[in-house]
Structure 1
């Protein structure tokens, strides 16, 4: 019996591999699905690098080398600078690849122009996204020991004034997490419905040339 070959779902002649932060994986896939960007493939570095930015650039360097060896000619970096202090840009320049514009995901979700307009006002704001709402316990409560020692809240969050939830989707459960987190941390609460912000335009830039 002849085995059927599954056709490749590729838009244009070239695939594009997005090497992204694990914190935005769901969002990259959502944009790909919504816009029908079947030329995109996705692989991710660990989401925990968000809190260990020194690991991002060397891990990205290794990931790009691995992707090139696997035959990918077109690669897009699914990160902003993300606290690397320019180290990620040096990796991108070394390999001739582009990344998402901006300092971090909190900026490109809002859109860089909108972020720049509120950046000074938000200096004492603690940002949460859909991902961070889903992972609030794993990323904050347990690692910081706040579930066992809530008296440490002031040590970690005492310099913040409000929690700003940057919502990629309209999800009452996630919003409830953000509201409860703000109450738990003793912060004022604000929700901004950002959608995917500049992430959509960044992924549109990967479309193969006609």
Structure 2
């Protein structure tokens, strides 16, 4: 259950019509999790528009992409919520959201809000490299190949020599994903740790969004 990048998804497949609907502008890396939470909780008032997940590797482009998406689509909705944390924008995304009058999820990045921002900050793990369910599935496309390790594996020490462990923050209890994450750790030469986080603060943030009076 995934969402194509740059596409608005609705429960009915029809164009959004307002009436209490909320548009989620989200990173494509969160699509599966957002749709799972929406379906599990019956949040039929939420529509999802995903920006390309590869912006994960180009954080300087995130703010402009979010602003364009909000300005293009907000007229059809009663509310807009940006499902990005700061994600390497250096506060620029929060500033833009404040200017647009829309809210966004709190925290520095998805690793933080999956684990719980306060819990993550208290750990202060500067030598840990994190993967989520999405990044385990897309490890080659988002980590291995962008760093050139597919052609130059000798660069691994330069990139990861200061890390001690790979922490897999599991959103789902999937043994196959756990084994794949363990393989990722082996490929990077890191110790392996799995933490089942579930959806963390993502679930809390989506649950806090207003619902149409007719659905309460």
Q: Give the TM-score of the pair, scaled to structure 1.
A: 0.90
Residue in structure 1 matching 2:169, options 126, 149, 166:
166
Q: What's 1:47 paired with?
A: 53
Residue in structure 1 matching 2:208, options 185, 189, 205:
205
Q: What's 2:64 paired with?
A: 58
Structure 1: 5+ residue stretches without partners: 1-5
Q: How far apart are the structure 1 equivalents of 2:40 and 2:151?
A: 41
Q: What's 1:195 paired with?
A: 198
Q: What's 1:125 paired with?
A: 128
Q: What's 2:96 paired with?
A: 91
Structure 2: 5+ residue stretches without partners: 1-11
Shift, 1:7, TM fit:
9.9
Q: What's 1:3 paired with?
A: none
Aligned residues: 200
Q: Give the TM-score of the pair, scaled to structure 2.
A: 0.87
Q: How far apart are the structure 2 equivalents of 1:192 and 1:174?
A: 12
Q: Secondary structure at the match of 2:146?
A: helix
Q: Is the 8 A contact 1:24 1:131 kept in 2?
A: yes
Q: Is the 8 A contact 2:25 2:50 kept in 1?
A: yes
Q: What's 1:103 paired with?
A: 108
Q: Secondary structure at the match of 1:191?
A: strand
RMSD over equivalenced CA pairs, Å:
1.8
